[in-house]
Every structure is written in C-alpha cells, then in structure tokens.
C-alpha cells in the first residue's frame, strides 16, 4: 500500500499542477481553463439544508463578476458521500465539491482534488487554526473550510444543575446519562476519551501511522473505565433512541451534535440545558472529556476545465460573508474567527456551546488518514466487549496492543 500511496501522491501532484486534470497542459496553464475565458460553466454540490442559500451565494458571486459570462449550476449533493461519488466518475462530478475534512486524505491520494494554490493566506488569516489544519494534507492545502461541528452535552435542567454537569461523576451521582457504548459507531463518542486521558491517534499531527498509543497505561485505564460503566445504574447504553429516552425522562443527559438541535429542543422545551463536556477521572486523575471536531470543506475537482475560476468560486463560497449566510439560514457554526466572536453566535445557547466545544480544550480534530476507517472497525469491538463484560482486564493490554499493531499494518 505504501507504493500505491506514493503513486497516488505523484498523480495528485501532476493533477494539481494542471497536467492531468481533464485536459492538456497548455490549456490548463495558459488557455481558457486558466481563467481567460469569458464563458465559464461550473457545477457546485450543496447539501439539502443549504441548497437554497448556496444558490443565493452563487447568484451574488455572478453579480460581482460582470466581466464574465458565468453559467453556474447548484446541484443537490451529499457531502458525506463526496469521496465515493467523485472517485466513481470525476468527470461527471461537480467542479466545486463539499466534503467532511476526514475524507480529504483519501481524496488527495486518489488524485481527484486540485490543490488550493491561491487562497491559502486568506484561510490562514481569517479562519481558525484548526480549520486551516483540516484543509491541509501532508503539508499542502486542498480545502476551503466553511463550517465546524462538534458534539456537546445536553441535559434536563429539572434533573441536573449547572454544577452537576461540570463533572461526569457529578452527573452520574444524581441522574442517568446516555452514551452509545454497545453499538457500531461507539468509537465516535468514546475514542476521544482515550485522547483526553493522554493517548494519541496517529501521533500529534494525526498523519503518523506509527503514532497511535491507545495501548499505553492511560489507554488501558480508559478501557477499564468503559468496563466499569456496565455496573453504573446511571449510565444507559443507548443510541438512536437517546432523544426519546431524554424526552421520557429516562435519561437526564446525553451528547449530541448541532444536527440534533431541533430534536432536543422539542424533547426538553424550557428544561433544555446545554454545556461543554464535563471532566472525568478515567483512573489517572480528572481530565477534560473531549469530542472529535469536524470541519466541512469545499474543494476543487481535479477534473475541472476551469481550475482558477473554480478556486475563486470555492474561496468565495467559504468566505466570511457566506459563512454568515449559512449561519443565518441553518445555524451552521462558522470557522471565521471574527464571526465566532459576534453577539449573534454567542447569544444562541446551542451555537455558543458548540462554538466553545470547537476550542482545543474540548475537541480533537478528526484525523484525515485513509487508514482511519479501518481503525474504527478495530476499535468498536474493544469498546463494545469491554462494556458488555466480554473483555477481561487481563486481556485489555493484549487487545490494545493488537489494535495499535493492526492499525499501523493497514499501511503495508
């Protein structure tokens, strides 16, 4: 696989240099595709919730560029399936693609993205450091960040106080909290707690295949903590039914993301409380519990006929004005530093707490390595078996050693 990675990176470099991206080098470097054409046709993918506001943004972009005859089509897409759809047929895909940042590595290595060669300084200056990092892979910037996401704590104010929710122990001493501990996908909630307790996932950069340390002493202690939750009556293993349990008063707290805003507002009404994650003692002393941070990116398809125009459009659609339009339309959390500091963001309790959760104290940027998907498949059974009582303390070290070895071996 290492050989394939080198080949893929080489192909990506050629494509981002304009030699293989759907047409000849002369056209890419100096012809119509280099931005000289007066007639430019582009396609933009947008998720359902922001389809309408994206059309307004595109209309504004066209109005601000009267020197060109732009034909820009806004098409419904699914950012979560960007990698799958673009790799299936790059020529048929949009020129400007929306994707979650954790798909960036795989798409770069597949050679389907055009490097951001013009707007790096703007992103670095205006957006958060984490958003800039999310748009970067192996030292090169490919993305245009426009939104950040993180999970946060939701609680019933009639059952828990503001003081109770400051610690995990304070919550569970008083009322039940729900977590996904027994089903596929538990890694998304639980894996960050290994990081909170001092473990690393693909090193400090998130791009070091040999840098995972879930098998250190702190990792073993987190696994023991997971196993202990089975005997805690105020920890409820739940997943899709969490909101219903919250509404029925069977749990007093849960974690969710901004995508669950309307559901939890309906479930709790005036009793809705939101907060950053609590602290927890996993066995090595109290530490801040953490969540993964996700960043939504725009990127340019390497197969576009108009790379400079596509880059300009992607940059425009991710600027402060457009981030504000998404926030106004659907509550999307901006990554623009000035916007995050405005009263409009801070005065909405859910938006404010999600924005706080995307600070380094509370979140870890989801790694971008393609091998991450294999890591989840390896970690889920460990968490589920530990919680279910099917993994003894004597076997935890061995299972974590295997996890680290196997996660690195996926690169071979």
278-291 pLDDT, tens digit each: 999 999 999 999 99
Neighbours of 365 (CB within 10 A): 21
Instruction: Retrieve residue 187's tokens.
Output: 């890694």
Same fold, 2-149+293-365 and 151-291+367-409: yes
Residue 244 contacts residue 403 (beta carbons within 8 Å): no
Query: What residues have CB less than 8 Å from 338, skipping those under 6 apart?
Result: 126, 320
For the residues 322-336, what does the mean pLDDT come to? 95
Neighbours of 37 (CB within 10 A): 16
Going from the C-alpha of 331 to that of each of 98, 99, 146, 151, the distances in angstroms are 17, 18, 12, 15
For the residues 352-378, what does the mean pLDDT come to? 92
Checking if the pLDDT of 368 tops 70, the result is: yes
Q: Which fold, 2-149+293-365?
A: D-Maltodextrin-Binding Protein; domain 2 (3.40.190)
For the residues 238-263, what does the mean pLDDT come to? 94
Half-sphere exposure of 279 (CA within 13 A, CB side): 9
Conformational region of residue 184, where left means phi above 0, alpha means psi within -120 to 50, and beta covers everything else = beta
Q: How many whole angstroms separate alpha carbon 177 and alpha carbon 125?
A: 40
Going from the C-alpha of 87 to that of each of 297, 301, 352, the distances in angstroms are 17, 10, 36
pLDDT above 70 coverage of the chain, percent: 90
Tell me the domain boundaries of the chain. Answer: 2-149+293-365, 151-291+367-409
H/E stretch holding 300 reads strand 291-301
CATH class of 151-291+367-409: alpha beta
pLDDT at 355: 92
For the residues 239-254, what does the mean pLDDT come to? 96
pLDDT at 410: 55
* pTM for the predicted model, two decimal places: 0.88
pLDDT at 25: 32
For the residues 58-72, what does the mean pLDDT come to? 97
CA angle 323, 328, 333 (to 5 degrees): 50
Band of pLDDT at residue 36, cut at 50, 70 and 90: low
pLDDT tens, residue by residue, 89-102: 999 999 999 999 99
Checking if the pLDDT of 313 tops 90, the result is: yes
Checking if the pLDDT of 348 tops 60, the result is: yes
Burial letters 115-125, b for 16+ CB under 10 A, else e: bbbebbeebee
pLDDT at 412: 45
pLDDT tens, residue by residue, 112-141: 999 999 999 999 999 999 999 999 999 999
């Amino acid at each position: 696989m290492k050989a394939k990675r080198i080949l893929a990176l080489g192909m990506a470099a050629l494509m981002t240099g304009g030699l293989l991206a759907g047409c000849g080098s002369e056209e890419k470097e100096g012809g119509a595709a280099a931005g000289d054409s007066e007639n430019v046709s582009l396609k933009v993918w947008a998720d359902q919730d922001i389809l309408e506001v994206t059309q307004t943004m595109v209309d504004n972009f066209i109005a601000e560029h009267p020197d060109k005859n732009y034909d820009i089509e806004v098409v419904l897409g699914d950012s979560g399936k960007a990698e799958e759809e673009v790799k299936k047929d790059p020529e048929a895909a949009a020129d400007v693609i929306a994707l979650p940042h954790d798909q960036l590595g795989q798409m770069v290595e597949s050679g389907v993205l055009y490097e951001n060669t013009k707007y790096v300084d703007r992103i670095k200056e205006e957006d958060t450091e984490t958003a800039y990092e999310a748009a970067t892979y192996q030292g090169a910037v490919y993305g245009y960040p426009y939104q950040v996401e993180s999970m946060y704590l939701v609680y019933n104010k009639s059952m828990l106080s503001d003081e109770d929710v400051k610690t995990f122990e304070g919550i569970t001493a008083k009322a039940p909290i729900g977590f996904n501990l027994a089903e596929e996908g538990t890694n998304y909630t639980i894996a960050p707690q290994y990081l909170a307790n001092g473990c690393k996932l693909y090193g400090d950069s998130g791009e070091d295949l040999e840098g995972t340390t879930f098998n250190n002493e702190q990792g073993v202690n987190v696994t023991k903590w997971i196993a202990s939750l089975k005997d805690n009556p105020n920890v409820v293993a739940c997943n899709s039914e969490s909101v219903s349990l919250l509404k029925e008063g069977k749990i007093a707290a849960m974690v969710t993301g901004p995508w669950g805003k309307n559901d939890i507002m309906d479930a709790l009404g005036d009793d809705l409380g939101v907060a950053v994650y609590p602290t927890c003692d996993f066995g090595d002393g109290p530490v801040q519990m953490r969540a993964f941070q996700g960043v939504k990116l725009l990127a340019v398809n390497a197969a576009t006929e108009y790379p400079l125009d596509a880059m300009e459009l992607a940059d425009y659609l991710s600027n402060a004005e457009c981030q504000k339009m998404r926030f106004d339309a659907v509550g999307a959390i901006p990554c623009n530093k000035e916007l995050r500091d405005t009263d409009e963001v801070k005065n909405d309790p859910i938006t404010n707490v999600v924005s706080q959760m995307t600070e380094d104290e509370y979140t870890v940027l989801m790694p971008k390595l393609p091998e991450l998907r294999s890591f989840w498949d390896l970690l889920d059974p460990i968490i589920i078996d530990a919680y279910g009582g099917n993994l003894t303390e004597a076997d935890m070290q061995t299972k974590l050693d295997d996890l680290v070895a196997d996660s690195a071996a996926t690169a071979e």
